[in-house]
Amino acid sequence: MKILLADDDLDDLFFFKKALSEIPIETELTTAHDGEELMAYLAKNSENLPDVLFLDLSMPRKTGFECLSEIKLNDKFKVLPVIMFSTFYKKDINFEKGMKNMLYQIGAMDYICKPDDFEKLKQVIHAALISIIEKKCNTL
Protein backbone atom coordinates (compact mmCIF):
# COMPACT_ATOMS: atom_id res chain seq x y z
CA MET A 1 0.00 0.00 0.00
CA LYS A 2 1.42 3.35 -1.04
CA ILE A 3 1.06 5.99 1.66
CA LEU A 4 1.79 9.69 1.44
CA LEU A 5 2.23 11.58 4.71
CA ALA A 6 2.28 15.37 4.72
CA ASP A 7 3.53 16.61 8.08
CA ASP A 8 6.14 19.18 9.10
CA ASP A 9 6.80 17.74 12.58
CA LEU A 10 9.92 15.55 12.51
CA ASP A 11 8.94 13.66 15.67
CA ASP A 12 5.52 12.86 14.24
CA LEU A 13 7.15 11.67 11.01
CA PHE A 14 9.50 9.41 12.98
CA PHE A 15 6.71 7.84 15.03
CA PHE A 16 4.46 7.41 11.97
CA LYS A 17 7.25 5.56 10.14
CA LYS A 18 7.96 3.43 13.21
CA ALA A 19 4.26 2.59 13.60
CA LEU A 20 4.03 1.57 9.94
CA SER A 21 7.00 -0.75 10.36
CA GLU A 22 5.12 -2.58 13.14
CA ILE A 23 1.78 -2.93 11.33
CA PRO A 24 1.10 -6.19 9.47
CA ILE A 25 0.41 -4.43 6.15
CA GLU A 26 3.11 -4.00 3.53
CA THR A 27 3.52 -0.28 2.95
CA GLU A 28 5.64 2.18 1.02
CA LEU A 29 5.83 5.62 2.65
CA THR A 30 6.55 8.92 0.93
CA THR A 31 6.62 12.15 2.90
CA ALA A 32 6.11 15.84 2.23
CA HIS A 33 7.18 18.40 4.82
CA ASP A 34 4.79 21.22 3.95
CA GLY A 35 1.74 21.96 1.85
CA GLU A 36 3.59 23.32 -1.16
CA GLU A 37 5.87 20.28 -1.28
CA LEU A 38 2.79 18.06 -1.07
CA MET A 39 1.00 19.76 -3.95
CA ALA A 40 4.17 19.71 -6.10
CA TYR A 41 4.53 15.96 -5.39
CA LEU A 42 0.91 15.29 -6.39
CA ALA A 43 1.28 17.33 -9.59
CA LYS A 44 4.44 15.43 -10.54
CA ASN A 45 2.85 12.05 -9.72
CA SER A 46 -0.72 12.67 -10.87
CA GLU A 47 -0.74 9.46 -12.92
CA ASN A 48 0.54 7.37 -10.01
CA LEU A 49 -1.21 8.64 -6.87
CA PRO A 50 -0.74 6.95 -3.50
CA ASP A 51 -3.46 4.76 -2.02
CA VAL A 52 -4.01 7.23 0.81
CA LEU A 53 -2.81 10.62 2.02
CA PHE A 54 -2.43 11.36 5.73
CA LEU A 55 -2.59 15.16 5.88
CA ASP A 56 -1.64 17.35 8.83
CA LEU A 57 -3.80 20.44 9.33
CA SER A 58 -1.09 22.80 10.55
CA MET A 59 1.77 23.03 8.09
CA PRO A 60 3.88 25.95 6.87
CA ARG A 61 3.58 27.54 3.43
CA LYS A 62 0.19 25.89 2.76
CA THR A 63 -2.13 24.49 5.42
CA GLY A 64 -3.85 21.12 5.39
CA PHE A 65 -7.15 22.94 4.80
CA GLU A 66 -5.78 24.63 1.71
CA CYS A 67 -4.29 21.38 0.41
CA LEU A 68 -7.47 19.40 1.03
CA SER A 69 -9.51 22.02 -0.82
CA GLU A 70 -7.12 22.03 -3.79
CA ILE A 71 -7.00 18.23 -3.92
CA LYS A 72 -10.77 17.84 -3.91
CA LEU A 73 -11.24 20.55 -6.58
CA ASN A 74 -8.70 18.94 -8.92
CA ASP A 75 -10.13 16.24 -11.23
CA LYS A 76 -6.84 14.30 -11.17
CA PHE A 77 -6.55 14.27 -7.37
CA LYS A 78 -10.11 14.23 -6.06
CA VAL A 79 -10.29 10.42 -5.97
CA LEU A 80 -7.36 10.31 -3.53
CA PRO A 81 -8.56 9.26 -0.06
CA VAL A 82 -7.44 11.91 2.43
CA ILE A 83 -7.27 11.30 6.16
CA MET A 84 -6.72 14.43 8.18
CA PHE A 85 -4.11 13.51 10.77
CA SER A 86 -3.35 16.25 13.20
CA THR A 87 -2.66 17.36 16.71
CA PHE A 88 -5.81 19.20 17.58
CA TYR A 89 -6.32 21.28 20.65
CA LYS A 90 -9.97 21.08 21.61
CA LYS A 91 -11.44 24.47 22.30
CA ASP A 92 -14.92 23.14 22.92
CA ILE A 93 -17.09 20.28 21.68
CA ASN A 94 -19.03 22.46 19.21
CA PHE A 95 -15.85 23.89 17.71
CA GLU A 96 -14.44 20.38 17.25
CA LYS A 97 -17.67 19.10 15.67
CA GLY A 98 -17.78 22.09 13.35
CA MET A 99 -14.15 21.54 12.34
CA LYS A 100 -14.74 17.87 11.56
CA ASN A 101 -17.93 18.62 9.63
CA MET A 102 -16.13 21.22 7.53
CA LEU A 103 -13.31 18.77 6.74
CA TYR A 104 -15.81 16.07 5.74
CA GLN A 105 -17.73 18.55 3.56
CA ILE A 106 -14.53 19.52 1.77
CA GLY A 107 -13.87 15.84 1.10
CA ALA A 108 -11.80 14.32 3.90
CA MET A 109 -12.43 10.61 4.34
CA ASP A 110 -11.66 10.74 8.07
CA TYR A 111 -10.15 12.87 10.82
CA ILE A 112 -7.71 11.35 13.30
CA CYS A 113 -6.34 13.21 16.28
CA LYS A 114 -2.72 12.11 16.78
CA PRO A 115 -2.61 10.05 19.95
CA ASP A 116 0.15 10.61 22.51
CA ASP A 117 0.54 6.86 23.09
CA PHE A 118 2.58 4.87 20.52
CA GLU A 119 0.39 1.75 20.77
CA LYS A 120 -2.71 3.86 20.12
CA LEU A 121 -0.93 5.48 17.19
CA LYS A 122 -0.30 2.05 15.65
CA GLN A 123 -3.94 1.11 16.22
CA VAL A 124 -5.40 4.23 14.55
CA ILE A 125 -3.05 3.98 11.56
CA HIS A 126 -3.77 0.26 11.17
CA ALA A 127 -7.54 0.84 11.42
CA ALA A 128 -7.34 3.64 8.83
CA LEU A 129 -5.41 1.43 6.40
CA ILE A 130 -7.87 -1.45 6.87
CA SER A 131 -10.68 1.01 6.11
CA ILE A 132 -8.94 2.05 2.86
CA ILE A 133 -8.41 -1.58 1.85
CA GLU A 134 -12.06 -2.45 2.58
CA LYS A 135 -13.29 0.57 0.64
CA LYS A 136 -11.15 -0.41 -2.37
CA CYS A 137 -12.47 -3.98 -2.23
CA ASN A 138 -16.05 -2.72 -2.15
CA THR A 139 -15.56 -0.57 -5.25
CA LEU A 140 -14.06 -3.34 -7.37
Q: How many domains does the chain have?
A: 1
Going by C-alpha positions, the residue among 47, 51, 40, 54 that lies closest to residue 76 is 47
Task: Write the CATH number for 87.
Answer: 3.40.50.2300
User: pLDDT (tens digit, 9 = 90+) per residue, 71-130?
Assistant: 999 999 999 999 998 876 556 677 777 878 888 899 999 988 888 899 999 999 999 999
User: pLDDT (tens digit, 9 = 90+) per residue, 29-87?
Assistant: 999 999 999 999 999 999 999 999 999 988 888 999 899 999 999 999 999 999 998 87
Return the number of other C-beta atoms located less than 10 Å from residue 40's C-beta: 12
48: domain range? Answer: 2-139
**Over the range 110-120, which residues count as b (16 or more CB within 10 Å of their CB) and which as e?**
bbbebeeeeee
| Average confidence (pLDDT) over 4-32 | 94
Q: What pTM was estimated for this model as a whole?
A: 0.91
Average pLDDT score over the chain: 89
